[in-house]
């Protein structure tokens, strides 16, 4: 079995694969001060609740944008995963993923962005855009030559909501799970809800249109897939999101690990 871990700035998503099948997954807050031993205590309990024996884990792969947690996770794997067939794998720009990173400074590219590109390329085998709704919203672009060529970075939805509530006297922190009845909000809450959902949907469409013009000849298909915790909320408001896959990063980690095992 493979334990795949995606460490983001806000949340850590992890999952256990039996072959290609994801049998369990967890989404927890990323605590930058957590040690390898503390990770072991928490995940021992999670494994027990899922009915999975830690001793069955024979593969480990990690993508992290938090250096301190990357060290803790690698320490956890080396100390507590005693049946690994190979050394714990932490993905970075130097990892042989099958995707060539063609940016000015490849070291700047987050591991999660490379992993998402791997999973999306495996699906489409063509020019593509991955839209990841995390702490930041990132657009990651892969050419028809299987090259990661860069992307764009935008403030995330949570950051925007926190800024509205924290920097204004009367605007509340609201739940955006509810669909707005109309674009023009007739209450403060409905105005914020409409602004966030329709506004970020419009941002997605505008960026996809612009990026598509640069990625390839006019009129040719550029595939899009959205992932991340809030992707399902924005997808109905963006005409250019063709697929939503919340498991894209975990799938990419599995594919990279399989490539190394092969």
Give tens-digit pLDDT for 143-189. 999 999 999 999 999 999 888 888 887 777 877 888 888 999 888 88
The binding site for ATP consists of: 6-13, 135
The binding site for K(+) consists of: 132
| pLDDT per position as a tens digit, 87-113 | 999 999 999 999 999 999 999 999 999
**Of 31, 53, 58, 112, catalytic:** 112
- Cβ–Cβ under 8 Å, residues 202 and 224: no
Residue 58, both tokens: 């024979």
Per-residue pLDDT for 67 more than 80?
Answer: yes
Quick one: how far is CA 46 from the chain centroid? 21
- Pairing state between β 100-101 and 147-155: parallel
How far is it, in rounded angstroms, from Cα 20 to Cα 98? 19
The binding site consists of: 6-13, 110-113, 132, 135, 188
Q: Please, what sign has the CA dihedral across residues 52, 75, 78, 114?
A: positive
Q: Which domains does the chain have, with CATH numbers?
A: 2-90 (3.30.420.40), 100-250 (3.30.420.40)
How far is it, in rounded angstroms, from Cα 76 to Cα 35? 8
Active site residue 112: yes
How far is it, in rounded angstroms, from Cα 186 to Cα 66? 41
219 confidence band (pLDDT: 50, 70, 90): low
State the pTM of this model. 0.92
Residues in the chain: 262
Instruction: Determine if residue 25 is left, alpha or beta; phi over 0 gives left, psi from -120 to 50 gives alpha, anything else beta.
Output: beta
The binding site for substrate consists of: 110-113, 188
DSSP 97: -
């Amino acid at each position: 079995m493979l334990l795949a871990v995606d460490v983001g700035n806000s949340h850590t998503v992890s999952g256990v694969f039996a072959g290609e099948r994801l049998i369990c997954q967890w989404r927890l807050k990323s605590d930058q001060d957590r040690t390898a031993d503390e990770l072991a205590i928490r995940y021992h309990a999670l494994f027990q609740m899922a009915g999975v024996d830690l001793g069955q884990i024979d593969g480990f792969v990690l993508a992290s944008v938090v250096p301190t947690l990357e060290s803790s996770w690698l320490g956890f794997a080396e100390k507590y995963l005693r049946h690994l067939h190979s050394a714990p794998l932490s993905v970075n720009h130097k990892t042989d993923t099958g995707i060539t990173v063609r940016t000015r400074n490849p070291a700047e590219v987050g591991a999660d962005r490379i992993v998402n590109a791997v999973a999306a390329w495996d699906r489409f085998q063509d020019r593509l855009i991955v839209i990841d709704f995390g702490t930041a919203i990132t657009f990651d672009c892969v050419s028809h030559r299987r090259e990661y060529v860069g992307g764009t970075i935008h403030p995330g939805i949570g950051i925007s909501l926190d800024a509205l509530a924290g920097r204004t006297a009367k605007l509340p922190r609201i739940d955006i799970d509810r669909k707005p009845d109309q674009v023009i909000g007739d209450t403060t809450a409905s105005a914020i809800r409409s602004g966030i959902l329709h506004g970020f949907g419009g941002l997605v469409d505008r960026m996809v249109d612009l990026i598509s013009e640069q990625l390839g000849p006019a009129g040719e298909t550029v595939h899009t897939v959205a992932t991340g915790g809030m992707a399902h909320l924005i997808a109905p408001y963006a005409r250019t999101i063709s697929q939503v896959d919340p498991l894209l990063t975990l799938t990419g980690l599995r594919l990279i690990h399989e490539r190394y095992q092969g």
